[in-house]
Structure 1
Amino acid sequence: MDVKASGVKTWRILGIGLAGLLLAACAGAPPRTGGNPMFLDDRFAPPSEPIGASDLFALSPAMEDYLATEIASRQRSSARQHALVDALYSSAQLKLEYDSTVTRNAAEAFDARSGNCLSLVLMTAAFAKELGLQVQYQVVFSEQAASRSDGIVYLSNHINLTLRPTAPEGRLVNLANEPLTVDFIPAEGQGRQRARVVREATIVAMYLNNKAAESLRARRLDDAYWWARAAIEQDPGFLTAQNTLSVIYRRRGHLAEAEQLLRNAVELEPGNAVPMSNLSRLLKASGRTDEAARLDERLRRIEAVPPFHYFDIGLQAMAEKKYELARQNFEKEVERAATHHEFHAWLAAALFELGEVDAARRHLQIALENSTTPADQALYESRLEALRPRQRTLR
């Protein structure tokens, strides 16, 4: 574990694919929200454990005591974020260990003194919230770790978090209180990596989806269903959970429903290789080899292109005022990541320059709805306002 401070792991599944995160705790099955056609509650038994995440960031009495003693004592000589990281990860007393096998909530990770990257991020965030720090989560674009179990390939994404101090209105923030990124992989292995900020709702969904993946690995399909269901309800835009649910459906024999989930994911993100790969496998298993072959050809093209490849081409095209070229490349990135706000914002800028104001407005609205920071939200709101008087620029 390295504290530069930056990273976390979340489960995904390929080969029949998936990924995971959270929901409100309850003793039995989660309450039915009624009418969502992707859910098959009557075909799965009630869960054997509480399903939810209402206590995900809750501090246990032991954590409150550690906060009042170890962390508070370090605050006398260090900024809050540095005091927190030092107390958690530099203390000989705590001795945290990395454990990739189980996803724990904040209190469980502290009690066990171990956790996977997501668990350690959750624990760090819980303390940070109590200290009044701002917490920002990032998914880092890096090579995915993979493992195989019972015919399923599990892919692991990397996540980190950044801690920022807050100051009362009108107060200056000391320059020593700069943002601090906390990561749990060796810094020398990171290099200069691209990352995208994600909402806390998505982090919670990742937790729930991880629990679904762990239940699936343990062959507890009923529990896996309820965890994946909770992840989807927590963040409907987190398509990884739909992919996970499709794997559960396939394992239970609900093939038509699994196929519909995968087709929905591929339609929303036609450049996302994971659901496309799973759909291809499902089609092959049902004898539809011609359609599967067409998907495989698309997969070969997608997987040959690294993250942000088309985005960087688009940015260069914008700088050279080649707006149609920019548009084409930004559209390709939107196909691969339909909820990444920056792709939509730049696509809107290219469309504006091409005179397609209505389309620009639509993509700016999508960027606003998926933005994760107040600064981005304010920026996109101002750009949407700028579209009313046509002559104002978006860039």
Structure 2
Amino acid sequence: MNTGFLHGARLPVALILLVLAAGCASVPQSSQQHEADSNDLVQPPLPVPRLDLFQSRADVPSFDELTRLTPAQERQFFDWFNAPERVAVKPHRRIADYLETLLADVTFDDQTRGAADVLASRHGNCLSLALVTTAISRVAGVDTDWKLTTRNPVYSSDDGVVYSANHVHTRLFDPTYETRPGQITLRRPHVLVDYFSQRPKSGGFTLKHHQIIALTYQNLAAEAIADGDLDSSFHLSLKGLEHDPANPELYNILGLLHKRKGAWNTAEAYYRHALDVGGERLVTLRNLERLLLARGREAEARNVARRIVALPDSDPFPLIKLGDEALQRGHIQIALNYYTRARDLAPYLHEIHARIATVRFRQGRLGLARKSMREALERAGVSDKSKYKKIGKYPDLAKSTWP
């Protein structure tokens, strides 16, 4: 779910044809580990979810439902796809051309929607548009896959939930491509569909089908937390784990949910299981540290804090706190230094960009302040956008926005 556009901005769909020749390539060790099939891994014992704390939900959509078009939408597609003037174009290119037209007037928002809902409402996020691409390609008989370029962890900070951005793009494979005798093809010719960039990149790693499904439920579960619907988030998380029991973010979400419900033993078990499955992760370590501190287990919390410090990427939140303290003391440049370091670690956190905008306003550098406020707007949820928009119109308000 890339947040590189303002709410209400139009979504350009960037397309690039990649015709890849046969050749040799080595897969980095990290990619090999990530792409190992979760069914082949020996998983540690699962925590037992507290079903008694969450109301049942019968409305959890299946992935097939999320990637299904209405009959009218299918007819519209096939009328365009099978038009005589287009039949000479390869099927995967025709789909790409159709998407470029179809999604031109879709408005970005921060909700994950199924394919049919996106086309009916003309709203959606990056993952929603990947679901549209998958749905259309499926009815046309064209193979696709997804590439994930940025992780989508869920952070817990002072019992609030802070979301990072997750960018997905889709590859449409040429169904007419055939391997010649004796030829080894590492990657098939394809069109890369990137929903937020005029220059799509081919980086990231490929998701297997079960990981795609789990990622979709991960997004839905995180959004349900933001909406205060813990029951739906709980059942969406469990649904995602049915498809990918090696997804550490889903265990982290379940930890957050059980902590919110006061089941701290189960929350701790889920955090520790997420670490067992996914390795040392800042997201989960920070949540575990906070839980241990809240339970008065300070020595254990200090051990977790040392594990956090040892990670290659440090935690942005202490830097934000130090910046706030410096700003309160009137040390504007020191505060800016802390905020800039935090931004470099976590550029997806809108609060950091808003704080930098505040400092720039106080320095009288209005151009840089407006630029940072635009960055904050692009990454903020709906509830924060109105505040940031107001500050953008009335810069003096920024002086009292943060400490």
Q: TM-score, normalised by structure 2?
A: 0.60
Secondary structure of the residue aligned to 2:163 is strand
Counterpart pick for 1:63 among 58, 61, 73: 73
Aligned to 1:88: 99
CA distance in 1, matches of 2:106, 2:305: 40
Aligned to 1:262: 271
CA distance in 2, matches of 1:234, 1:137: 16
CA distance in 2, matches of 1:149, 1:288: 17
For the pair 1:294 / 2:285, whether they are aligned, the reply is no
Matches within 5 A, 1:108-257: 108-141=117-150, 151-167=160-176, 178-188=189-199, 194-257=203-266
Letter in 2 for 1:155: S
Letter in 1 for 2:48: M
Most deviating of 36-45 and 244-253: 36-45
The offset of 1:261, in angstroms, is 0.8
Contact 1:265 1:275 (C-alpha < 8 Å) held by counterparts: yes
- Residue by residue over 1:138-196, the C-alpha shift from the partner in whole angstroms, topping out at 9 and shown as x without a partner, is 11148989998971111221111111022387899xxxx931111112245x6x67411
- Residue by residue over 1:284-335, the C-alpha shift from the partner in whole angstroms, topping out at 9 and shown as x without a partner, is 2112222222222322332438xxxxxxxxxxxxxxxxxxxxxxxxxxxxxx
Most deviating of 250-259 and 158-167: 158-167
CA distance in 1, matches of 2:134, 2:157: 30
Aligned to 2:340: none
Question: Aligned pair in 2 of structure 1 residues 101, 149: CA closer, same or farther (>3 Å)?
Answer: farther
Aligned to 1:12: none
CA distance in 2, matches of 1:138, 1:166: 19
Secondary structure of the residue aligned to 1:167 is coil
CA distance in 2, matches of 1:145, 1:85: 32
For the pair 1:45 / 2:55, whether they are aligned, the reply is yes
Most deviating of 120-129 and 280-289: 280-289
Secondary structure of the residue aligned to 2:82 is helix
Secondary structure of the residue aligned to 1:201 is helix
Secondary structure of the residue aligned to 1:162 is strand
- Residue by residue over 1:347-378, the C-alpha shift from the partner in whole angstroms, topping out at 9 and shown as x without a partner, is xxxxxxxxxxxxxxxxxxxxxxxxxxxxxxxx
The offset of 1:78, in angstroms, is 2.1
The offset of 1:107, in angstroms, is 1.2
Contact 1:52 1:227 (C-alpha < 8 Å) held by counterparts: no
CA distance in 1, matches of 2:202, 2:150: 7
CA distance in 2, matches of 1:219, 1:111: 25
CA distance in 2, matches of 1:149, 1:64: 46
Counterpart pick for 2:87 among 76, 79, 83: 76
Secondary structure of the residue aligned to 1:274 is helix
CA distance in 1, matches of 2:189, 2:46: 45
The offset of 1:115, in angstroms, is 1.0
The offset of 1:113, in angstroms, is 2.0
Letter in 2 for 1:226: H
Counterpart pick for 1:5 among 8, 15, 24: 15
Question: Aligned pair in 2 of structure 1 residues 166, 252: CA closer, same or farther (>3 Å)?
Answer: same
Contact 1:202 1:235 (C-alpha < 8 Å) held by counterparts: yes
Most deviating of 177-186 and 100-109: 177-186
CA distance in 1, matches of 2:120, 2:304: 46
The offset of 1:59, in angstroms, is 2.0
Q: TM-score, normalised by structure 1?
A: 0.61
Contact 1:145 1:157 (C-alpha < 8 Å) held by counterparts: no
CA distance in 2, matches of 1:135, 1:71: 17
CA distance in 2, matches of 1:296, 1:45: 35
The offset of 1:77, in angstroms, is 3.9
Question: Aligned pair in 2 of structure 1 residues 272, 127: CA closer, same or farther (>3 Å)?
Answer: same
Most deviating of 46-55 and 151-160: 46-55
Q: How many residues align?
A: 269
The offset of 1:247, in angstroms, is 0.7
Q: Percent identity?
A: 26
Contact 1:103 1:119 (C-alpha < 8 Å) held by counterparts: yes
CA distance in 2, matches of 1:151, 1:239: 19
Letter in 1 for 2:79: T
Question: Aligned pair in 2 of structure 1 residues 155, 108: CA closer, same or farther (>3 Å)?
Answer: same
Contact 1:52 1:208 (C-alpha < 8 Å) held by counterparts: no
The offset of 1:246, in angstroms, is 0.9
Secondary structure of the residue aligned to 1:5 is strand
Kindly report the root-mean-square deviation, in angstroms, between the aligned alpha carbons of the 2 structures. 3.1
RCO comparison, higher one (Cα < 8 Å, 6+): 1
Question: Aligned pair in 2 of structure 1 residues 220, 160: CA closer, same or farther (>3 Å)?
Answer: same
CA distance in 1, matches of 2:301, 2:260: 20
Secondary structure of the residue aligned to 2:166 is strand
